[in-house]
């Protein structure tokens, strides 16, 4: 494998890791606050559809992004209502959201666009284009650093940079601010927060809200940056892979980055059978490569996670004790 | 303190308003009247005890004072002014701090983080943490409350965790401190330490409300005491003018025997013979290190010790759900400790009955009804069977009889176990095990979380079984209980038996030293030495 191929592989790793990273951080906020969320998938899907649909209708990708975030937030609110206010089962609520999103997106897409559950292909301002960083073109021919900068670092859409910036930001928020301290506390022992006179419900809604926003960005990225338009079930289990990455990352922001990059790499390898062939010396079936991220999810969860302790109050609705 | 300041304080106390005054507080949860027209006055700078059985409404009353619940009726006056306490924030603002029975700490946070949680000074943590660190040093100096600010809660013992709870309240500038059953989780040494701290807080002018069901604590530490029964305040008296017997009667509503009435033991043959019993747990930690014990027919052997020093493992091995090495004989017959006959069923067939330490997790299935729980472990009994199926009617009838004989209230076999009070749950387990007429009864923490009235009954049943010539192995962390029931006492520390004593020849002090692993009990020992040893044992417990 030559250097340029390697850089290209990393480049597509970054592209594919971005939605996983955003969804993983979304789950991190929610689960750190004690609300398990298997509805990441559904929220991403809904956001993917609405951002593509609105971007297609308005021709403005930013309005599309807002619509995607809005749709995701709505589903977040639903999850919050079910699991925080009505103290329902968080898993069931998440499953319901996934089904709702899967059905609703195709139905509305068909109704609006009559293209078999798709949105029209997005062009021009209806899509996030790659940003060429200053000096990228000039440096492209410099050995080693040139391709690294112009191919790998430069040329991504704004959402990619946003996702990567979200990692240190999340870390800072969680570990350096009052909000983060309270958020982590409410996921570990909500009674400690309640007795300190802080609203458990308020904190958990805030966390679920942040989760909704990040899922919205992740979904919008899928349909308006990674692809040019919405297709049925386009989230393709990424929400679940993000959850696996979250467990692999032990609910920590920096680990989440490495975990999602790893899963992104598996995804990138899927698109480059030539690289695999060069690496292991034999041809691997395309279907098998396609299954690679999913197989690795199972393998990693089963074998490599070790002891991952989830937030202690996770999944449990908070009821004041008598 | 000089006599002048004492009189001065009394003078100011007389002239000032009560720190807390509750007027006609009532609170109902559905049909249950948890608090009925309760009025109470607590003077500043005093320790006021509130005593009552489980479910008497003590905790509800304090939760109202702390803003957890809103009273249906009544007024709260703090330092002479009427105060509304709609939430905990308001209680904290009114200078009330609460130390709950189950600590409200975040296990994987540091001491410092727990202390500032909810009382941060701004959006960023750094300045808050720095300020808390400084304040903590001052508080440590003022009240002798020393803790390591950077230790994680999960790494420190319960005594220390409780100190963190007290510091949390003081950091929020609480003048009124409410402690709910503070000694339930503490060793005798830790409890003494706590009461020294409370004394110090009182002398600095803080007002303390101590909620407990332990008469001794009330007698030793409080200035005044209020007694609650079934949601009502039955009396408020000066502690110096009352007696444990009077308080117990006020609590239960009838005369209670505080002492166990029993004749000397008529011991027979050795029933249980343990030699060199060793248990290594999943993590490779040695929990029992060569234990030798004998229990004879007609005898109660009490095992004293701080929780986590191997007593639980001893019961588990004998009960058949933990492997071990060594020799255990029952009536001369060797028990299988690791093979396929080391399970609860085989043990029961041998004539061993077991009342486990944690009745809610090991003794009962809380969601199941009483009659179903009665059949557990004995479901192979032919009397409970009708062909291939269970004879539910027979089990229910049998349960009704057991409930009558053991005074389980309400005597309804179709009620789920979780709907009985702690004492009645324990009676169900006890009835199931004792009525099987075992040769050996294993019983762990028989009266943990059980009311005084039920304690009396349970103790009587244990003694009655002994008088029928059965062997009883009793494990309890309550020294009083060990001393009252046992015919012989063995003390465990760090997986070993430190010594055996006869109850008439020993006292709490000597047993306390043995529990801390100190065998030369005649030599003088400093508190620090005892605490250091206990900390060692506690860290052993943490390893589980």
Nearest to A39 by CA among A1, A3, A88: A88
Among partner residues A181, A188, A321, which is closest to B108 by beta-carbon distance?
A: A188
3-state SS record for B142-181: HHCCCCCCCCEHHHCCHHHHHHHHHHHHHHCCCCEEEEEC
Three-state DSSP class for B508?
helix
B393: three-class secondary structure by DSSP = helix
The pLDDT, as a whole number, for residue B534 is 66
Q: What distance in Å separates residue A175's CA from the closest CA in chain B?
A: 8
Is there a single domain that holds both residue B330 and residue B450?
yes
Q: What is the largest CA-CA distance in chain A?
A: 70
pLDDT more than 90, % of chain A: 70
Same domain? B271 vs B407: no
Mean pLDDT of A178-204: 95
Q: Does A182 touch chain B (CB under 8 A)?
A: yes
Question: Three-state SS for B275?
Answer: strand
H or E element at residue B325: strand B325-330
Distance of CA B21 to the CA centre of its chain: 29
Quote the CA–CA distance of A133 and A110 in Å, as a whole number: 38
List Cβ neighbours of B264 (8 Å cut-off, separation of 6 or more). B487
Query: Do B334 and B449 reside in the same domain of the chain?
Result: yes
A residues 188-207 near B, CB within 8 Å? 188-189, 191-198
pLDDT of residue A56: 94
Residue-wise pLDDT tens digits, A228-282 = 999 999 999 999 999 999 998 999 999 999 999 999 998 898 888 888 888 888 8
Select the residue from A175, A191, A195 to test the B interface by mutation, using most B Cβ atoms within 10 A.
A195
- Give yes or no: residues B473 and B538 share one domain: yes
Q: List the single residue in B with minimal CA-CA distance to A319.
A: B68
Q: Does B108 touch chain A (CB under 8 A)?
A: yes
The answer to whether B125 faces chain A, any CB pair under 8 Å, is yes
B530 and B442 in one domain? yes
pLDDT tens track for A204-214: 999 999 999 99
| A192–B117 C-beta distance less than 8 A | yes
Q: Residues B297, B344: one domain?
A: yes
Report residue A305's pLDDT band, with 50, 70 and 90 as the boundaries.
low
pLDDT on residue B528: 64
Contact A178 B91 (CB under 8 A): no
| Domain containing residue B394 | 359-437
SS3 labels along chain A:
CCHHHHHHHHHHHHHHHHHHHHHHHHHHHHHHCCCCCCCHHHHHHHHHHHHHHHHHHHCCHHHHHHHHHHHHHHHHHHHHHHHHHCCCCHHHHHHHHHHHHHHHHHHHHHHHHCCCCCCCCCCHHHCCCCCCCCCHHHHCCCCCHHHHHHHHHCCCCHHHHHHHHHHHHHHHHHHHEHHHHHHHHHHHCHHHHHHCCCCHHHHHHHHHHHHHHHHHHHHHHHHHHHCCCCCCCCCCCHHHHHHHHHHHCCCCHHHHHHHHHHHHHHHHHHHCHHHHHHHHCCCCCHHHHHHHHHHHHHHHHHHHCCCCCCCCCCCCCCCCCC
Residue A250, Ramachandran bin (φ over 0: left; ψ between -120 and 50: alpha; else beta): left
Q: Is the pLDDT of residue A321 over 90?
A: no
> What is the H or E stretch that residue B401 is in?
helix B392-405
Label each residue of A86-122 as H, E or C. Answer: CCCCHHHHHHHHHHHHHHHHHHHHHHHHCCCCCCCCC
CA distance B249 to B235: 11
Taking residues A164-190, report their average pLDDT. Answer: 97
- Number of other CB atoms surrounding residue A131 within 10 Å: 14
CB < 8 Å from A in window 451-510 of B? none
Give residue A31's Cα distance to chain centre.
14
How far B132 CA lies from chain A's nearest CA (Å)? 14
pLDDT band at residue A224 under the 50/70/90 scheme:
very high
- List the pLDDT tens digit at each of the 544 positions of chain B: 344 444 444 444 445 789 999 999 999 888 878 899 999 999 999 999 999 887 788 888 998 999 888 899 999 999 999 999 998 889 999 999 999 888 999 999 999 999 999 999 999 999 999 999 999 999 988 888 889 999 999 888 888 899 999 999 999 999 999 999 888 777 777 888 899 999 999 999 999 999 988 888 899 999 999 999 888 999 999 999 999 889 988 888 887 777 788 889 899 999 999 999 999 987 788 899 999 999 999 999 999 988 888 999 999 999 998 889 999 999 999 998 887 888 888 999 999 999 999 888 889 999 999 999 999 888 888 899 888 898 999 999 999 999 999 999 888 999 999 888 888 899 999 999 999 999 999 999 998 878 888 888 999 999 999 999 999 999 998 888 999 999 999 999 989 999 999 999 988 888 888 888 888 777 766 666 766 676 666 555 544 3
Which residue from B88, B119, B123 is facing A194, i.e. has the nearest CB? Answer: B88
Helix or strand run (H / E) with residue B425: helix B422-434
Residue B14, pLDDT score: 47
Shared-domain flag, residues B519 and B426: no
Cβ of residue A177 closer than 8 Å to a chain B Cβ: yes
Report yes or no: B98 at the A interface, CB cutoff 8 Å: yes
On whether the CB atoms of residues B165 and B105 are closer than 8 A, the answer is yes
* SS3 category, B315: helix
The reported pLDDT for the residue numbered A149 is: 87
CATH number at residue B290: 3.40.50.300
| Nearest-Cα residue of chain B relative to residue A311 | B108
Residue A62 is encoded by which pair of tokens?
């930013």
Nearest-Cα residue of chain A relative to residue B69: A322
Task: Count residue pairs from A and B with Cβ separation < 8 A.
Answer: 77
Cβ-Cβ contacts under 8 Å, B125 against chain A: 175-178, 180-181
Query: Is residue B375 located within the same domain as residue B401?
Result: yes
Structure pTM?
A: 0.79
Location of structure tokens 């709260």: B76
CA–CA min distance B543, chain A (Å) = 16
Q: Are B339 and B481 within one domain?
A: yes
Q: Does A129 touch chain B (CB under 8 A)?
A: no
Q: Is B100 on the interface with A (CB under 8 A)?
A: yes
Residue B52 β-bridge partners = B228
What CA–CA distance (Å, rounded) separates B468 from B284?
41
* Residue B414 placed within a domain: yes
Alpha-helical runs (H) found in B211-277: 215-221, 244-252
Interface check A320 vs B, CB under 8 A: yes
Cβ-Cβ contacts under 8 Å, A178 against chain B: 120, 122-125, 128
Domain boundaries, chain A: 3-126+144-304
- Cβ of residue A176 closer than 8 Å to a chain B Cβ: yes
Max Cα–Cα distance, chain B, nearest Å: 84
Query: What pLDDT is stored for residue B443 in this prediction?
Result: 96
Q: How far is A223 from chain B (nearest CA, A)?
A: 36
For A69-101, what is each residue's pLDDT tens digit? Answer: 999 999 999 999 999 999 999 999 999 999 999
Query: What is the chain A residue with the closest CA to B103?
Result: A192
Name the pairing type of β-strands B47-52 and B73-78. unpaired
Asked if residue B443 and residue B364 are part of one domain, the reply reads no
Domain A3-126+144-304 fold is ABC transporter involved in vitamin B12 uptake, BtuC (1.10.3470)
Whether B531 and B542 map to the same domain: the answer is yes
Min Cα distance A24 → chain B (Å) is 22
List of chain A residues whose C-beta atoms are within 8 Å of the C-beta of residue B59: 322
Structurally, how many domains does chain B consist of?
Answer: 2
Q: Say yes or no: A307 contacts chain B, CB-CB below 8 A.
A: no
Among B68, B118, B125, B171, the strongest candidate for a mutation testing the A interface, having the largest count of A CBs within 10 A, is B118
Q: Please check whether residue A119 is in contact with residue A113, taking contact to mean a CB–CB distance below 8 angstroms.
A: yes
Residues of B in contact with A179 (CB under 8 A): 123
For residue A185, what is the nearest residue in chain B, using CA coordinates?
A: B106
Peptide bond into B410 cis (omega under 30): yes
């Amino acid at each position: 494998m030559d250097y340029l191929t390697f850089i290209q592989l990393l480049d597509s790793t970054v592209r594919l890791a971005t939605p996983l990273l955003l969804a993983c951080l979304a789950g991190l906020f929610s689960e750190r606050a004690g609300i398990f969320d298997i509805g990441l998938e559904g929220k991403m899907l809904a956001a993917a559809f609405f951002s593509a649909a609105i971007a297609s209708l308005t021709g403005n990708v930013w309005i599309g992004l807002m619509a995607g975030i809005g749709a995701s937030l709505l589903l977040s609110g639903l999850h919050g209502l079910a699991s925080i206010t009505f103290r329902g089962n968080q898993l069931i609520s998440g499953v319901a959201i996934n089904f709702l999103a899967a059905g609703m997106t195709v139905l509305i897409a068909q109704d609006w666009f009559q293209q078999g559950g798709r949105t029209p292909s997005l062009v021009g301002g209806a899509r996030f284009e790659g940003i060429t960083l200053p000096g990228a073109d000039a440096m492209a021919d410099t050995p080693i650093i040139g391709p690294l900068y112009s191919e790998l670092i430069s040329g991504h859409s704004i959402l990619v940079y946003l996702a990567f910036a979200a990692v240190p930001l999340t870390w800072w928020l969680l570990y350096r601010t009052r909000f983060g301290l309270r958020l982590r506390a409410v996921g570990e022992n909500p009674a400690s927060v309640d007795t300190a006179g802080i609203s458990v419900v308020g904190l958990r809604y805030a966390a679920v809200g942040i989760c909704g926003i990040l899922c919205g960005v992740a979904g919008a990225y899928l349909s308006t940056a990674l692809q040019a338009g919405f297709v049925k079930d386009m989230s393709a289990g990424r929400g679940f892979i993000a959850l696996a990455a979250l467990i692999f990352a032990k609910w920590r922001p920096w680990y989440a980055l490495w975990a999602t990059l790893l899963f992104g790499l598996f995804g990138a390898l899927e698109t480059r059978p030539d690289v695999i062939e060069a690496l292991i010396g034999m041809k691997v079936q395309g279907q098998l490569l396609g299954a690679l991220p999913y197989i690795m999810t199972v393998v990693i969860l089963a074998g490599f996670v070790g002891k991952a302790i989830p937030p202690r109050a996770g999944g449990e609705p908070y009821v004041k004790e008598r | 303190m000089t006599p002048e300041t004492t009189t001065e304080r009394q003078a100011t106390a007389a002239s000032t308003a009560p720190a807390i005054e509750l007027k006609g507080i009532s609170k109902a949860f559905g049909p249950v009247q948890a608090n009925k027209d309760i009025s109470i006055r607590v003077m500043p700078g005093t320790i006021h005890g509130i005593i009552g059985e489980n479910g008497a409404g003590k905790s509800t009353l304090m939760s109202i004072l702390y803003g957890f619940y809103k009273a249906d009726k009544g007024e709260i006056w703090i330092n002479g002014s009427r105060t509304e306490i709609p939430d905990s924030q308001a209680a904290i603002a009114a200078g009330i701090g609460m130390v709950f029975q189950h600590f409200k700490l975040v296990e994987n946070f540091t001491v410092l983080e727990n202390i500032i949680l909810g009382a941060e000074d701004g959006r960023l943590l750094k300045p808050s943490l720095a300020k808390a660190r400084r304040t903590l040093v001052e508080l440590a100096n003022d009240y002798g409350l020393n803790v390591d600010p950077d230790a994680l809660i999960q790494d420190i013992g319960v005594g220390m965790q409780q100190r963190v709870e007290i510091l949390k309240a003081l950091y929020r500038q609480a003048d009124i401190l409410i402690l709910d059953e503070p000694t339930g989780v503490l060793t005798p040494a830790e409890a003494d330490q706590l009461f020294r701290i409370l004394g110090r807080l009182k002398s600095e002018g803080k007002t303390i409300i101590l909620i407990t069901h332990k008469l001794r604590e009330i007698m030793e530490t409080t200035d005044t005491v209020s007694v609650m029964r079934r949601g009502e305040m039955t009396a408020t008296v000066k502690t110096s003018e009352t007696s444990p017997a009077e308080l117990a009667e006020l609590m239960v509503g009838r005369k209670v025997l505080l002492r166990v009435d029993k004749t000397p033991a008529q011991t027979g043959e050795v029933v249980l013979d343990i030699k060199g019993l060793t248990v290594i747990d999943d993590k490779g930690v040695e929990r029992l290190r060569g234990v030798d014990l004998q229990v004879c027919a007609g005898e109660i052997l009490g095992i004293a010790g701080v929780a986590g020093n191997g007593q639980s493992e001893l019961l588990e091995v004998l009960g058949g759900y933990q492997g071990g090495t060594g020799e255990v004989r029952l009536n001369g017959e060797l028990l299988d400790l690791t093979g396929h006959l080391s399970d609860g069923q085989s043990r029961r067939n041998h004539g061993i009955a077991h009342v486990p330490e944690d009745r809610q997790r090991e003794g009962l299935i809380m969601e199941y009804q009483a009659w179903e729980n009665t059949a557990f472990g004995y479901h192979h009994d032919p009397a409970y069977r009708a062909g291939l199926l269970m004879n539910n009617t027979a089990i229910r009838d049998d349960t009704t009889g057991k409930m009558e004989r053991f005074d389980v209230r309400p005597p309804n076999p179709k009620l789920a176990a979780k709907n009985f009070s702690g004492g009645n749950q324990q009676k169900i387990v006890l009835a199931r095990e004792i009525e099987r007429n075992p040769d050996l009864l294993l019983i762990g923490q028989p009266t943990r979380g059980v009311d005084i009235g039920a304690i009396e009954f349970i103790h009587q049943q244990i003694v009655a079984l002994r008088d029928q010539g059965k062997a009883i192995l009793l494990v309890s962390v309550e020294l009083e209980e060990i001393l009252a029931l046992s015919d012989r006492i063995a003390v465990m520390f760090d997986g070993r038996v430190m010594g055996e004593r006869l109850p008439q020849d020993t006292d709490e002090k000597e047993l306390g030293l043995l529990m801390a692993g100190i065998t030369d009990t005649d030599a003088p020992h400093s508190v620090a030495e005892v605490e250091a040893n206990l900390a060692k044992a506690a860290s052993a417990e943490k390893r589980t």
